[in-house]
Structure 1
Amino acid sequence: MTDITAPGPATPRPAADLMSEIPGAPADDRHLTVLSTGDVAGIAITPADVLDTVENAYRTLAAGLSDNPRKLTVKPRDGHSVAYAMLGRDGSRDVVAVKTSYKHGLDKSRDAQHYYTALTLYDDITGLPVAMMDCGRVGALRTPAVSALLARECAAPGARAVLVIGTGTQGRLALPFLLTALPGLERLMLYGTHPDGIEAVRTRLREDFPDRSLEVVTDVRAAAEAADVVVATAGQHTPAAVAASWLRPGALSILVGHGLAPSTLHQADRVVSTSRAQMLVTGTDMADEQGGLPPVDAEFPQVLAGTAAGRTAPGERVFAYNSGLVVTDIALGHRFAQLALAQGLGTRVPLWR
């Protein structure tokens, strides 16, 4: 992936500093900088940069410096749509943000669905708005970064084989992030049902890691039995449903979308979640016959902070639940705002006039 020339993410800059970089447009309380889908899409950023940004957000949350309240959800009785609202504060950047997400057509094919998500950032020092942006790419990059960090912290020592299930956006981005976090991975397996998606995964891998090869599998069970790490990113109509009995001792299964049977959670030796509360909201499809979910042994921010263990023994079968935390969207959105405004991107809108 093309590298960037903008400053690295090690020391987040105050939001107020970003606004001063828009030519001829000083920060005020009446204008909002809008970063469109095209603005955000044109920003080059490496997987390593994204990983560092997301990890810092988790560590700041674990230190008690950030706030990540439980998300609000509304859904009609027939389940044809779902909407979320998430509010949070990043303590290392002094930024408050609101993220909204709306998906329509859950009862239809992926091509017939509508999805909109936006992130609005405010500087909590000056009290001024920073930017409003399409959050699609932010979420698309944040999620595989979290999966890669989960793999780094929770995979058994010496993990060499990974199976990715699904060829949508998350399936396409999974391997570059996994290889960045776990360069020792050698066998890269992919299960998918869409030829175009499989080719897209192959193309993306070739762009980021041209020396690595992809193994497309058709026998999900055999691939799962051989994998040290299984990352399930598929859509809800996938025929894949990896069972706990297929997993080898020490295997790590990471749930992002679909592709794992509930037994991988209920029969796991250890359960790690990005958030217990979020898992209760968005993990209901993994509930047992009584509608229950097993207790979470560790939350991932504490794992990264070293106050909880991702695994306690090499032979444990670990289940990791990857649900989005808005503090990671805030951190990565702020990083994109930093890069975008440094390049003069964005449109100033007199929203409050």
Structure 2
Amino acid sequence: MTDTPVAPVGTPAARDDKHLRILSTSDLAGIDIALADVVDTVEGAYRTLYAGHSDNPRKLTVKPQDGHSVSYAMLGRDGSRNVVAIKTSYKHGLDKGRDEQHYYTALTLYDDVTGLPVAMMDCSRIGSLRTPAVSALLARECAAPGSRSALVIGTGTQGRLALPFLLTTLPGLDRLLVFGTHPEGITAVREHLHAHFPDRDVEIVTDLRAAAADADVIVATAGAHTPAAVEADWLKPGALSVLVGHGLAPSTLHRADRVIATSEEQMNVTGTDMADAQGELPAVDTEFPPVIAGVTAGRHHARERIFAYNSGLVVTDIALGHRFAQLALERNLGTEVPLWQ
């Protein structure tokens, strides 16, 4: 990977200060992108951030006292792409079942060379790709040498692409395990895996403790209501546990030999459910950007139990959103809105 600047995107119709190109869910759904392309784009964003060319301020969070919703606002700048962006995220119904929840997320990109808007897009597909790509990069850098088995906990949006991305960065995995409680989610996991790796299949596990004891890599993506809670003493020596959503007990963090976070600051904001009895989180041993840059080791020895906290950095959303904007504008997708007229 290099930090070569990426050319701005746009079409003559979109490159003015009156119009905004809107890319809908269906616009983005029709764009094919290889998993390796996503991984490379996300990795490049981390490298640029570590090099000091990008900005990723702490996210702003608002949440009502009863916890029925949560909202985030994230501002960032990608220095290799010369793009500034704002991402918003709003989830309602956290006290309800999955089918009753509402979730909206959007990303607005601006070209920091011309000062003109690039596009505003639904960010749900960006997040559904970016997050498992980061987990796969964490696995590539932090899994024990010769890792052969991976367990994914949860079959929602993040769980469905976790295994295809893991196989993209760790092709030597030969045992793929999934723990889930929703039959339709399990079916979707299989469908996504077969779409990218037609000759591979998954083992559906019901004994979570036994599965966790066999797994070299565990990626926990489940929702807040999951019954899954893998404990530290279930893990084999050398296991890597990656927390995306829920499914790992706090002991996996507090008793880990090494703790890595994509952002310690964000872990302290969004990872409070992993705090100990005193409400404390341990300090991280390293953040992930210097690991990606090759400055810090992801792992020191094969028997080290590692806990990795995967929280989204807006610079990765910006890079991947910009990549989708490039592909969309090449196909003249989207709708021009005279927003500032």
Q: For residues 108-139 of structure 1, give each alpha carbon's deviation from its aligned partner in whole angstroms, at most 9, with x where no partner exists.
A: 00110010000000000111100000000001
The 1-side partners of 2:329 and 2:4 are apart by 17
Mapping of residues 161-240 of structure 1, within 5 Å: 161-240=149-228
State the partner residue of 1:14.
7
Shift of the alpha carbon at 1:12?
A: 5.9
The answer to whether structure 1 residue 91 and structure 2 residue 79 are counterparts is yes
| Residue-by-residue CA offset, 1:198-222 (whole Å, 9 max, x unaligned) | 1110111111111112111000000
Displacement of 1:13 in angstroms is: 3.2
Number of corresponding residues: 340
Residue 340 of structure 1 corresponds to 328
Alignment partners' CA distance in 2, 1:126 and 1:171: 39
Separation in 2 of the partners of 1:305 and 1:238?
35
Per-residue displacement from partner, 1:70-93 (whole Å, max 9, x unpaired)?
A: 000000000000000000000000
Give distance in 1, aligned partners of 2:186 and 2:36: 24
Verify the 8 A CA contact 1:94 1:123 in the aligned structure 2. Answer: yes
RMSD value, Cα: 1.1
Residue 112 of structure 1 corresponds to: 100
CA distance 1:118–1:164, change in 2 (3 Å): same
Alignment CA distance shift 1:300-1:14 (3 Å): same
Contact 1:10 1:52 in 2 (8 A): no
Equivalent residue of 2:210, what SS?
helix
Residue in 2 that maps onto 1:282: 270
* Larger deviation, residues 200-209 vs 263-272: 200-209
TM-score, normalisation: structure 1: 0.95
Percent of aligned pairs sharing the same letter: 75
- Paired amino acid for 2:278: Q
Q: 2:47 aligned with 1:30, yes or no?
A: no
CA distance in 1, matches of 2:281, 2:155: 28
For 2:14 and 2:232, locate their aligned partners in 1 and report how far apart those are by CA, in whole Å.
56
**Structure 2: how far apart are the matches of 1:324 and 1:293?**
18
One-letter code aligned to 1:13:
V
Partner in structure 2 of residue 124 of structure 1: 112
Q: Note the residue ranges of structure 2 that are not aligned, 5 or more in a row.
A: none
Conservation of the 8 A alpha-carbon contact between 1:67 and 1:90: yes
SS, match of residue 159 in structure 1: coil
- Counterpart CA distance in 1 for 2:99 and 2:5 is 37
Equivalent residue letter for 1:130: V
Is the CA contact 2:14–2:336 (under 8 Å) kept in the aligned structure 1?
A: no
Q: 1:77 aligns to what? A: 65
Counterpart of 1:281, as a letter, is V
Between the aligned partners of 1:332 and 1:297, the Cα distance in structure 2 is 27
CA distance in 1, matches of 2:198, 2:141: 26
Amino acid at match of 1:46: A
Task: Write the letter of the residue equivalent to 1:19.
Answer: G
What are the superposed Cα offsets for residues 121-158 of structure 1, whole Å, 9 maximum, x if unpaired?
A: 00001111000000000011000000000000000000
Query: Scaled by the length of structure 2, what TM-score is found?
Result: 0.98
| Deviation per residue, 1:40-81 (Å, 9 max, x gap) | 111111110100000000000010000000000000000000
Shift of 1:308: 1.2
Q: Which residue of 2 aligns with 1:152?
A: 140
Offset of 1:14 from its aligned partner? 2.3
Residue aligned with 1:122, SS: strand
Which of 48, 55, 72 pairs up with 1:67? 55
Amino acid at match of 2:338: P
Whether the aligned pair in 1 keeps the contact of 2:151 and 2:219 (CA below 8 Å) is yes
| Partner residue in 1 for 2:121 | 133
SS at match of 1:19: coil
Letter in 1 for 2:6: R
5 Å-filtered alignment, 1:307-318, equals 307-318=295-306
1:43 maps to which of 17, 21, 31: 31
| Secondary structure of the corresponding residue to residue 280 of structure 2 | coil
The residue aligned with 1:4 is none
Equivalent pair of 2:10/2:326 in contact (CA under 8 Å): no
Amino acid paired to 1:14: A
Q: C-alpha displacement at 1:307, in angstroms? A: 1.3
CA shift for structure 1 position 26: 4.6
